[in-house]
Amino acid sequence: MTTPPPKIDLRNPIVAGILAFLFPGAGHFYQRRFFKAFVFAFGVWGSWWTGMAMSDWKALQAPDRGNMQTAAVLKFAGQAGVGLPSLWAVYQSSRYYSKDNTSPITIAGPEEYSFQGRLNMRAENANQTGDVTGTLSLVAAKGDFGPAIGGKFAGSLDGKPLTFDLANKVHLDQPIRSDRQLAVTASVVDEKGEYLGELLGKIPRPLMNWFACPLDQQEEAEWHRERGKYQELAMVFVWVAGLMNLLAIWDAVEGPAYGYYDDENTPAPPPPAA
Amino acid sequence: MVTTTMRILRHRRHPRRNLDRVDQSASLFNLGQQIMMYTLNLLPLAAVVSLIWTATRYESTPTIMRKSVRLFLQILFFMALILVGLFLLSRGL
């Protein structure tokens, strides 16, 4: 008599499938198939993180729902198998293409950011022109045409401390963008409000505002130029992770495709009785 | 004699020729190294693909391990075969 293969307890396959989709490995962990949970978590996440790191964290991009282009949809379809990040990418895409994603007119309250940039002063203060680092303090202010952003800059130029007031027309880049830094432009003024020069630079953009954000054409071109062939390889890693997780979801819902063992391991049936 | 003079003249006309040749071979070496590094990334990828593919076919851990190693070697073999084919096709280009 042959020993039947052990029965695989899939528990609730739908729950396992959803968990496997959202977090690779979690579905099998729920089913107490620990070896497979480790294999899928290690394999899918390993491939996904490698691809993301290789692409400078820009490989994950969901298409614009208002303008579904085939290339963008196909590119995302390969990645979508890794659920949680993909769902975030869809949400991020809707934020990015939203009408609200424009340069803010004003801000809610006082905010402070570390700043790196360049100070371009007028001819009479030309000795203060150069690269600066410091802290940018922004406040809601009243400009010539309504609400605006004002503030102060405190930092250093070539090791010498500097403090400047900023005119009430500080310009910030759109909040949601794939760039990890947010561009700032401001006019530097003296105590009387007289124009002294321009401050141009960048402040850090919060992770939630740049991660898995779509790229515009210029950013896409720059990304390809920077990464070269590694951009393509990174995309392959992320696609492979997404597609492999589809197989893992299938395994969580239906069990293994060929059975418990392979044929070589299955005990041979007894010879027929004479 | 004439040939030697012509050689000297040609060399004078292209004083950087020898240097260029050295630069070229150095850059080819770098390019080769880069391609090698780039191609090495495919090894872990192939290993992970074999492991996951086999893990979705079977449940028994020893079977998964044995089959995935075999699949990994098969993938490497066919990749090497394709590499050799492409190398032969691109020879002399």
How do A130-143 and A111-121 pair as beta strands?
antiparallel
The pLDDT tens digits of the residues spanning A66-78 come to 888 999 999 999 9
Q: How far apart are the first and last CA of chain B?
A: 36
What is the value of pTM for the model shown? 0.83
Count other C-beta atoms under 10 Å from residue B35's C-beta: 11
For A157-178, how does the pLDDT look when each residue is reduced to its tens digit (9 = 90+)? 988 999 999 999 999 999 999 9
Model confidence band, residue B32 (pLDDT cutoffs 50, 70, 90): confident
Average pLDDT, chain A: 92
For strands A181-189 and A195-204, give the pairing: antiparallel
What's the CA gap between A127 and A159, in Å, rounded?
13
CA-to-CA distance for B79 and B81, rounded, in angstroms?
Answer: 5
- Contact between chains at B52 and A46 (C-beta distance less than 8 A): no
Residues of chain A neighbouring B49 (CB-CB closer than 8 A): 240, 244
From A39, A248, A257, residue closest to B57, measured CB to CB: A257
Hunting for tokens 């070496």 — which residue is that?
A: B29
Residue B26 β-bridge partners: none
Spatial CA neighbour of A203 closest among A272, A104, A124: A104
Which structure tokens are listed for A125? 């203060």
Interface residue ranges in chain A relative to chain B, Cβ cutoff 8 Å: 5-6, 8, 33, 35-36, 39-40, 43-44, 46-47, 50, 229-230, 233, 236-237, 240, 244, 247-248, 250-251, 255-262, 265
All residues of chain A having their beta carbon less than 8 Å from the beta carbon of residue B31 are: none
Angstroms from B11 CA to nearest CA on chain A = 37
- pLDDT at residue A264 above 70? no
Mean pLDDT, residues B83-90 = 91
Nearest to A251 among B45, B51, B56 (CB): B56
Alpha carbon A165 to its chain centroid, in Å, reads: 34
Rounded mean pLDDT, A211-225: 95
ipTM: 0.83
Q: Do B48 and A43 touch (CB under 8 A)?
A: yes
Phi, psi of B6 (to 5 degrees): -60, -40
pLDDT in tens, B37-60: 888 888 999 999 999 999 999 999
- Which residues does B66 contact at the CB level (< 8 Å), separation at least 6? none
Q: Residue ranges per domain, chain B? A: 1-36, 41-93
Choice among A40-49, A258-267, B44-53 with the minimum mean pLDDT? A258-267
Tell me: the pLDDT tens digits for A120-145? 999 888 888 999 999 999 999 998 88
The two beta strands, A171-172 and A160-166, are unpaired
Sequence-separated (6 or more) residues with CB below 8 Å from residue B44: A46, A50
Closest to B38 (Cα-Cα) out of B71, B83, B93, B78: B83
- pLDDT of A179 higher than 90: yes
In angstroms, the separation between the Cα of residue B27 and the nearest Cα of chain A is 17
Whether A241 contacts A48, CB under 8 Å: yes
Which chain B residues have a beta carbon less than 8 Å from that of A251?
A: 55-56
Boundaries of every domain in chain A? 13-97+214-254, 111-209
When pLDDT is cut at 50, 70 and 90, the band that residue A2 belongs to is low
Residue A16, Cβ neighbours under 10 Å: how many? 22
Contact present, B56 and A247 (Cβ < 8 Å): yes
CA distance A53 to A200: 29
High-pLDDT (> 70) share of chain A, % = 95
The reported pLDDT for the residue numbered B17 is 53
pLDDT tens for A188-210 read 999 888 999 999 999 999 999 99
